Structure 1
Amino acid sequence: MLKKFFLICSGVDLKLIDNCANGEQNKYVGIGATVFFTAIMATIAGSYALFTVFDNPYTSIFFGIIWGLLIFNLDRFIVATIKKNDSKWKEFLQASPRILLAIIIAVVISKPLELKIFEKEINQVLLTEKNQMTLDNKTQIAQQFTPEIAKINSEIEVLKTEIATKETETDALYETYIAEAEGRKGTKLLGKGPVYKEKREKHDAALAELNQLKTTNTDKINQKETAIASLIENQKLTETKTQPIINNFDGLMARVTALNKLPWLPSFFIFLLFLAIETSPIFAKLISPKGEYDFKLQDQETAIKTWVQQQVNQREEMLQADIDINKKVYEDIKNEEEIYAYKQKMARDLLKLQADSFYKKQQKML
């Protein structure tokens, strides 16, 4: 049962192969087994590749099976359509398009399995890229908010500078009226005279203005600090919203790109392995000598081709004979007087009818 299944996988004619020797049958059993297990590997590779896209095992397995059946059908077609002949060069030319197709299939099959084999290394590359993308993302977002925050901070500094300037001015007035009271400056008279009162009033007025300025500017500073806190909160919120996009940066294309950043030699050898598996049925047929099955298949195809050619030639001869007979018949009829007289009478009647019809038309017009 298993032997018959592998023979079906190899694409041979079961009726012809049943009459061949066991050695010939075993050769095609091996080819069919290679085709079958290549399709199994394609199913596994396709399922994993689709799982990285859909994140759903059932969907991935379903489409992976379809992909494996497609590869199975292609491989079976490739092997079944290679015909053995007496020239190895002609066989290679005949098989060259199929070899090219096998190389493409090997690439498609090997790439998802490479992604699985080097998954840890790929994850490390993706982690590095995600960290860099996170830093770049924060920098880009900060560029949107930093100018506004800097502007508000400069406005806060202006308000603080106004307070500091007013404090310096008030402190100077305080020092002036104290020095006047102590007799160190101004009139240099000890005591609280008229000049002292005048300077004290200026200081008190400046102090009141300072207190008012502090109250006003402090409210403004609080409002601006609240605005800065709001901007910083919006900045963090934007970072939080965009971070999942970066975290999900591990799809199929991202993994293939990360794989290409790893050393190429291990991936290349894995590709060569699948290329050898995929092309082995083709090269097995190319390098093997012409066997019993090939002779029987050639005999069957030649017999059908000869029969078709005979049918075509027979139809051509029948057509030529019919043409010759018809030509001879019409040559004989052409010389008969009876046919000539009959056609002459019919032509005369037709001319009379045409003349009468023309006369009636002219008469109506007049």
Structure 2
Amino acid sequence: MLKQFFIICSGADTDILKTCSVGEQNKYAGIGATVLFTAIMAFIAGSYALYTVFDNPYTSIFFGLIWGLLIFNLDRYIVSTIKKTDSLFKEIIQASPRIVLAVIIAIVISKPLELKIFEKEINQVLLEQKNQMTLANKRQLAEQFLPTITTLQNDIENLNNTVSIKEAEVNALYNTYIGEAEGTAGTNLLGKGPVYKEKREKHDALLAELQLLKAENKAKIIGIENDIANLKSQYNLQVATSQTIIDNFDGLMARVEALGKLPRLPSFFIFLLFLAIETSPILAKLLSPKGAYDLKLEDEETALKTHVLQNKNQRDALLKTDYAINDRIYSDLENEEELYTYKRNKLRELMQLQADSFYKKQKNIL
């Protein structure tokens, strides 16, 4: 039962193969088993590749099954359409497009399995890429927010400097009127005289301005600090949002690119393995001698071709003979006086009827 199933997978004519030897049947059963296992590998590879895209096992298995059936049908068609001839060169020419197709199928099948086999190494490459992307993203976002934040911080520093300058002026006036009172500066007279009062009034007025300036600048600084806090909050929000995108940077294309950065020799050997599996049925048919199955299949095909050619030639001869007979018949009828007289009388009656009809129409018009 299993052997019969493998023969069906090979695409061979089961009715013809039943009349062949056991060895011939085993050869095509082996070819069919190779076709089947290649399709199973394609199903596994396709399911994994699609799982990296959809992140859903049921969807991946469904489309992977379709992909496996497609590869099975292609391989079965490739093997079944290679015909054994007496010339190896003709067989190679006949199989060359199918070998190219087999190479393409091997590449498509092997790549998803390479992604799974080297998954840990690919994850390490992706981690390094994500870290680089994170740093680059923070730098880019900082370039958007940092100039504005720096400007606002400079405004705060300018406001603080204005207060400091005003405080220095107030302290200078304070020292001046204290020195006047103690007699150590100004008039050098001990006591609170007119000059002391003048200096004290200037100090008090400037102190009131300082207090007012401090209150105004404090309100401005609070507003600016709120703006800086909002900008930093926006920066952190954008960093968090973009980090989510970076963390999800592990799709199929990203993994394929990461695989390309790994040493190519292991991947090449895996590709050669699948190429050998994919082309083995074709090579088996090319290298094997013409067997009983090939001879019987060729006999049936040539018999049918001969029958079709015979029918075509018979129809061509029949048509040619019919043309010749018709030419002779019309040639003989051309000289018969009775046929001429009959047709002449009928044509005369027709012309009379046409004349009568024309006469009636003209009469009605008048």
Q: Which residue of 2 aligns with 1:235?
A: 235
* SS of structure 2 residue aligned to 1:82: coil
The residue correspondences of 1:136-285 to structure 2 (distance < 5 A) are 136-285=136-285
Alpha-carbon distance, 1:176 to partner: 1.2
Instruction: Give the letter for the 1:202 counterpart.
Output: K
Determine helix, strand or coil for the equivalent of 1:250: coil
The answer for the alignment partner of 2:347 in structure 1 is 347
Partner of 2:13: 13
Which range is displaced more, 321-330 or 309-318?
321-330
Shift of 1:184: 2.5
Q: What is aligned with 1:104? A: 104
Give the TM-score normalised by the residue count of structure 2.
Answer: 0.97
In structure 1, what residue type is equivalent to 2:199?
K
How many angstroms does 1:326 deviate by?
A: 2.0
- Equivalence for 1:25: 25
Distance in structure 2 (CA, Å) of the matches to 1:362 and 1:266: 102
Counterpart CA distance in 2 for 1:297 and 1:343 is: 62
- Larger displacement relative to structure 2 (328-337 or 299-308): 328-337
- Aligned residue for 1:151, secondary structure, equals helix
Consecutive unaligned residues of structure 1, counting only runs of 5 or more, are none
The answer to whether structure 1 residue 117 and structure 2 residue 102 are counterparts is no
- For residues 238-289 of structure 1, give each alpha carbon's deviation from its aligned partner in whole angstroms, at most 9, with x where no partner exists: 2222221111111101111111111111111111111111001101111111
Superposed displacement of residue 112, structure 1: 0.1
Indicate the residue corresponding to 2:87 in structure 1.
87
CA distance in 1, matches of 2:150, 2:362: 108
Q: What amino acid does structure 2 have at the position aligned with 1:217?
A: N
Aligned length: 366
Which residue pairs with 2:292 in the alignment?
292
* TM superposition shift of 1:306: 0.7
Question: Is 346-355 or 295-304 further displaced after alignment?
Answer: 346-355
Once the two structures are superposed, what CA deviation does each residue of 1:192-231 show, in whole Å capped at 9, x if it has no partner? 2111111111111111111111111111111211121121
The equivalent of 1:51 in structure 2 is 51
Separation (CA, whole Å) in 2 of partners of 1:75 and 1:35: 6
Distance 1:174 1:157 in 2: 25
**For residues 297 and 323 of structure 2, what CA distance do their matches in structure 1 show?**
39
The code of the aligned residue for 2:13 comes to D
Q: Counterpart of 2:322?
A: 322
Letter in 1 for 2:94: Q
Identify the residue that residue 2 of structure 2 maps to in structure 1: 2
How far off is 1:362 after superposition? 4.1
